[in-house]
Amino acid sequence: MSVPNVVVHRDADMLAKAVAARVITRLVDAQSAKGSASLVLTGGTVGIATLAQIAASPARDAVDWRRLDIWWGDERFLPSGDPERNETGARKALLDHVDLDPERVHVMRGPDSGMTAEESAEAYTEELRRAARPEDHGPAPSFDVLLLGMGPDAHIASLFPEMPALHDTRPAVAVHGSPKPPPTRISLSLPVIQGANEVWVVAAGQDKAGAVRLALSEAGPVQVPAAGARGRRRTLFLLDRAAAAKIPASLGRISSP
């Protein structure tokens, strides 16, 4: 796993714009190198704001959207179209505004599919396995970029501190009893997150400062899931100044004046 690099931006708005620019550049580079690219989305305020900034960017058309696979790191187990679903927010902010191949938008299905949460996780696991290539060396693709938000409790995706899902090695898992509503969710497992080529943790706000400090410490991922947010080749913690307030000044590179 890679060692995290920390980049600090002035505020949440600048952070979303900067992450959007990074995403566009990375997808273009991946498509130039191998013909296609893969991106794992996250929800949350900054995650959705980033997608809106991608949609608004004049550079967005540099991406060949038809040659992009879209995945999710987690999803609330709610019916399609529910405003609380990460998918719903992503479609409104970006996906409905670009020319995607519908077959390459990999949605975690909700209860309106007729599946239980466990069946939905199993279906996503199978979808991940079908998409994995021999060079991925695992049961899921080595995503070009996997975006993660982070909660004040240091949870990532729907992997919450000291919950059973953190010990689950299946590619996608059902989560019950989430401390954050709704209680039932689907999440990528930690091994799949760590199998991504690049993992970018995006966090803004003073309430995230303590979690950021722990995530960049020697804490274990069972107690501090964000401490396990590491990519194979690259790990970025992309923060605003408030979220970076409790880390040593030597650790973060200030990017925005």
Q: What is the CATH number of the domain that holds 176?
A: 3.40.50.1360
Give domain status of residue 116, yes or no.
Answer: yes
Give domain status of residue 11, yes or no.
Answer: yes
Spell out the per-residue pLDDT of the chain, length 257, in tens: 899 999 999 999 999 999 999 999 999 999 999 999 999 999 999 999 999 999 999 999 999 999 999 999 999 999 999 999 999 999 999 999 999 999 999 999 999 999 999 999 999 999 999 999 999 999 999 999 999 999 999 999 999 999 999 999 999 999 999 999 999 999 999 999 999 999 999 999 999 999 999 999 989 999 999 999 999 999 999 999 999 999 977 675 666 55
By the 8 A CB rule, do 38 and 71 touch?
yes
Question: 210: helix, coil or strand?
Answer: helix
Give domain status of residue 122, yes or no.
Answer: yes
By the 8 A CB rule, do 157 and 86 touch?
no
Give me the residues paired with residue 5 across strands: 236
Residues spanned by the domain of 75: 4-217+241-249
Question: 99: helix, coil or strand?
Answer: coil
C-alpha separations of 171 from 88, 108, 120, 218 in Å? 23, 13, 12, 25
By the 8 A CB rule, do 239 and 19 touch?
no
- Residues constituting the chain: 257
Give me the residues paired with residue 174 across strands: 186
What's the pTM? 0.96
Report which of 10, 2, 43 is spatially closest to residue 243, judged by C-alpha positions.
10
Compute the chain's Rg from CA coordinates.
Answer: 17
Give domain status of residue 225, yes or no.
Answer: no
**Domains: count for the chain:** 1
Give me the residues paired with residue 239 across strands: 8, 203
Q: Which residues lie below 8 Å from residue 103, measured CB to CB, with a gap of 6+?
A: none
By the 8 A CB rule, do 186 and 151 touch?
no
